Amino acid sequence: MKPLKYNEIMPKVALEKLKLMEEQKLVDLAGKNLVEIHCALMESSYKEEIVRVLPRENDSIPFEEALLENYAKTLKNLENFSSGDLKKLIGAIIGKIEISNIKTLLRATKAKMNPDEAKSNIIPVGILNKDRCQDILSNSKTIGDVIEQLFDTKYGVILQKTLSDSNAGDNLLPLESALDQAVYQKIQKVVEKFKGSDKLIAKNVLGIEVETKNIKIILRGIAKGISKDLIKKYLLPSFFISDQTVTNLLDKADIKNFMEYLLSSKEIANNPTLKRVFSQFLENLGKPLNQIEEILEKASLKVSLEMQKKFLKYYNVSYVLVLLNLKWIEIKNLRSIIVGSKRKINASEIKSILTLQNNY
């Protein structure tokens, strides 16, 4: 079955998925020098962007910029070939990239980072292209300067209001939380307009992304001794978990009790997908926080692959969400390999931090 709204985009999705690197070829790049990595990427879907890169020892920035340009191109292509609510959803997902770029500008300005280094984390899609980001970085000495140069965007208004209300100063957490909340509220509104299995799939895939982000916010807040009221203020709008359940969770004595209560709550108990993900999280509680967060980060891809397998008989939104997850993870892995090469990190150590499908 092929719903009409997928007529144009599905061939593009299939093509983009075929362009993904074979996982073993990607893993084999760990420990290679930048010249060898450059040669390998010249034979991949990144060729158009990589051809402009001159591989110089200890300079990973041009590689990272090329990868992010390729990701931006993929997003734009998918948006151009989509329609209706699907187009709106991709546009809302692009909003996540826009606020990621703004966070980079805020962090770079606060840290007085070299603009060229900061640019390596900019994905040129949406309202902020590289030239504009360069101008903002060059003309900003303070957080207030960055916000002032964003007044012509919806994000500038959000940041200014948050800065005034919270007395944040140089504390970026309230500002970044406000950006996240605005984007995920928009995503949630778009998802609610979907019908049937598309709505179920989108709610599960993007919902698990939100819930895992909220758990990370809670874990970090507890670790830093942030008050419960303030932690709650920073949480993203949940797809599944009620405010009362969140309040009860924050009253738990430790993380184990927290997770046990979450799994017993009706919101999770009645959702097999969420229950499976959080059960795995509970099993790994003894691990360091960064490893637990890695498990949470993998959840969205895991759920999107499960949804695609479950609804394999006809085209649906899971195909698009799986592609976006796989593409981003591929770029994240390549960046880890490239930075590892620059820092002369050995291959086994680089491989240990890669996110691989074979682990699902």
The 10s digit of each residue's pLDDT in 42-55 is 999 999 999 988 76
Whether 19 is in a domain gets the answer yes
Whether 56 is in a domain gets the answer yes
Q: Give me the residue label for tokens 């593409």.
A: 327
Whether pLDDT at 297 is above 70: yes
Indicate the range of 153-162, 246-255, 269-278 predicted with least confidence. 246-255
Contact 333, 354 (CB under 8 A): yes
Contact 276, 283 (CB under 8 A): no
Contact 136, 146 (CB under 8 A): yes
213-251 residue pLDDT tens? 888 888 788 778 888 888 889 999 999 888 888 888 888
pLDDT tier at 168 (50, 70, 90 boundaries)? low
Kindly report the pTM of this predicted structure: 0.89
Q: 304-343: buried (b, 16+ CB within 10 Å) or exposed (e) per residue? A: bbbbbeebeeebbbbbbbbbbbbbbbbbbbbbbbbbbbbe
Q: What is the phi-psi region of residue 359: left when phi exceeds 0, alpha when psi lies from -120 to 50, beta otherwise?
A: alpha
State the pLDDT at residue 131: 85
Contact 55, 38 (CB under 8 A): yes
State the pLDDT at residue 360: 47
Other CB atoms closer than 10 Å to residue 185's CB: what's the count?
13
Whether pLDDT at 129 is above 90: no
Number of residues written out for the chain: 360
State the pLDDT at residue 114: 84
Most confident among 130-134, 254-258, 333-337 (mean pLDDT):
333-337
State the pLDDT at residue 218: 83
- Beta-carbon contacts of 350 under 8 Å, excluding residues fewer than 6 positions away, are 30, 31, 336, 337, 340
Higher pLDDT, 139 or 5: 139
Return d(Cα 208, Cα 256) in angstroms, integer.
19
State the pLDDT at residue 201: 92
Whether pLDDT at 5 is above 90: no
Q: Residue 26: which domain range? A: 1-81+323-360
Look over the chain and give the mean of its residue pLDDT values, rounded to a whole number.
88
Structure letter (DSSP) for residue 174: H
Return d(Cα 151, Cα 147) in angstroms, integer.
7
Whether pLDDT at 359 is above 60: no
Give percent of the chain above pLDDT 90: 52
Whether pLDDT at 300 is above 70: yes
307-326 residue pLDDT tens? 888 887 788 999 999 999 99
State the pLDDT at residue 275: 86
Contact 250, 231 (CB under 8 A): yes
Tokens standing for residue 110: 């606060």
Whether 353 is in a domain gets the answer yes
68-107 residue pLDDT tens? 999 999 999 999 999 999 999 999 999 999 999 999 999 9
With residues binned 3-state (H G I as helix, E B as strand, rest as coil), the percentages for the chain, rounded to 5, are: 70, 0, 30
177-200 residue pLDDT tens? 999 999 999 999 999 999 999 999
Q: Give me the residue label for tokens 């299995």.
A: 197
Whether 54 is in a domain gets the answer yes
As a dihedral over the C-alpha atoms of residue 214, residue 216, residue 222, residue 224, rounded to 10 degrees, the angle is: -120
The radius of gyration of the chain from alpha carbons, rounded to an integer in Å, stands at 21
Whether 142 is in a domain gets the answer no
Whether 109 is in a domain gets the answer no
Tokens standing for residue 261: 């209560």
Q: What is the CA angle 92-94-100, rounded to 5?
A: 115
Name the domain count of the chain: 1
Domain containing residue 50: CATH number = 1.10.132
